[in-house]
Amino acid sequence: MTAGRARGDGLDRLAMAVLQPGFDGTEPPDWLLRALADGLGGVVLFARNVTSAAPRTADRSGDRDGTGAAGGPSPGPGPVDGAVGGAGDGTSALVAALRRERPDVVVAVDEEGGSVTRLEAATGSSWPGNLALGVADDESLTRRVGRQIGRMVAAAGVTLDYAPVVDVNADPRNPVIGVRSFGSDPEAVGRHGAAWIEGLQSAGVAACAKHFPGHGDTVTDSHLALPAVRAAREVIERRDLPPFRAAIAAGVRAVMCGHLLVPAVDALPATLSRAVLTGLLREEMGFGGLVVTDAIEMRAVAALHDPGEIAVRALAAGADAICVGVSSARGESVYALRDAITAAVREGRLKEDRLAEAAGRVRDLAAWYDARAGDRAAAAGDADEGLGLAAATAALRVTPGPTGPTGPSATGPATPAAPAEGAARATGATEEAVGPGVLTRAPLVVSMTARPSQAVGRVTPLTLGQALAEILPGTTTAEVNDEDDVPGLLATLGDTGRPLVIAVHDAVRHAWMRRLLEEALRARPDAVVVETGVPGTPAGRLYLATHGNSTASARAAARWLAGRSQ
């Protein structure tokens, strides 16, 4: 073999080492096993790869006909009382097959808890999301939830969890962060982000703080277009960067950069910006771990360059791993990325030592994981039963709302009660209430929903209506998806002989939802309103905010409304 060919083989393996592609199916395709043999450094799992476990089920006596709520099929039984469903044996077998081909492969997954879950996509997350944890404001609770998510992820054989989100949700209209953030206060986001990281990594799985340098002050979804954070540099320093500094101080092993434009730092998108990834993150903030991109097929960057060019520019800017959510059926796209990277080295557009440095950081992460087998074994025996529901209950907040548009409610706020076991009262928040029994018989639940962002993916959490049907048999649900449903909605509300619950998600972001809610409250001023997203202006005779739409949060809200203990 010639020296040039040997160098070429080495370059090919270096280029493969920095790629983290997704794939289809619940078994590794032949092309993926071949790529691992050729040096592929990572793989990312999605819901399409996961074989769900059969979790312990709750009483679904109100759902015997299998239709769940009126208007759609049931997603099936889900975890109860914080029991972890997660991935089944098929997923761990899939990962084991990958590791047989390459023992040090970095297996990644996007497992945030709350609305974004891959391992529990079939049933919805057993854990409340970040906003709920931020509202509960108990760092020990956040740390315990992080550890339990780490325990679940570790059981599937995962190396790297693309979580937590440490963006500060500065704009409530943000279409892609919202309840995925710990909140709008940088100090609180930093505290809870650090606690979540400590909990997850104590279970022997690497955490990844995202989306650097902060995706919270945007109104554009980077899956669809390039968002811009137009704040001054001093605002970014004061608001967006502190949670990432806290994550670094907590020992986070990876940081994911966001596909967003930050003109105060550079004219290039952060993923492609040396000023952001090397100047700011590495040199100013002192981060020495793995930097991974968000998925490069997202339109924020895919509209600017082809995939190979994105990978080359991201590596040159300082990224170490390239996340590729979608691969071609036979893997040609992965090899095309490899070839684009090696060509850039040969052409002098990407330094070979920069590529080698990136590949070295991927190996370092794999070595860190390998050294923590004992942590994973300890976490496997550390089930924290009931934690998910307790944490979701601790995040419930209730305020009296006006009775429709006509005036204040005569009922007043629910009587404050002790928070759930293990959770502290949140200072400066609205009153906590646990289990007052607002509903005494089966209600009609009107659910107003918009299409979820691509970050959420194909998740089917238990709905509030389904959770109430577990407790109050006969509960039915009517789905409302847009403003054209007004006539049907008003006809549905004609049944005044039963309680009405109106469930909305992120009404603050959707004018049609707010208008429909007002119409509904004109017809039924006695309705209880449950907001499962970022809270807005209280409405209805009672306004309950869950701060997330996980299965755990749905059950917590249902039990509160029905006056049931955990």
Catalytic residues: 223, 294
Q: Evaluate whether 130 touches 185 at the Cβ level (below 8 Å).
A: no
End-to-end CA distance of the chain: 68
d(CA 504, CA 447): 6
Q: Evaluate whether 74 touches 466 at the Cβ level (below 8 Å).
A: yes
Least Cα distance to 524 among 445, 459, 451 occurs for 445
d(CA 271, CA 300): 10
Return the CA Rg of the chain. Answer: 24
Q: Evaluate whether 124 touches 133 at the Cβ level (below 8 Å).
A: no
- Note the residue count of the chain: 566
Pairing of strands 208-212, 254-257: parallel
Reading the block at residue 83, the tokens are 């029991």
| Amino acid of residue 254 | A
3-state SS record for 77-104? CCCCCCCCCCECHHHHHHHHHHHHHCCC
Q: For the stretch 451-465, what's the b/e string if a residue is b when 16 or more beta carbons lie within 10 angstroms of its beta carbon? A: ebbebbbebbbbbbb
Crossing angle of helices 332-347 and 30-37, rounded to 10°: 30
d(CA 208, CA 163): 5
Cα distances from 478 to residues 67, 277, 445, 485, 520, in angstroms, run 12, 47, 6, 11, 13
d(CA 106, CA 290): 12
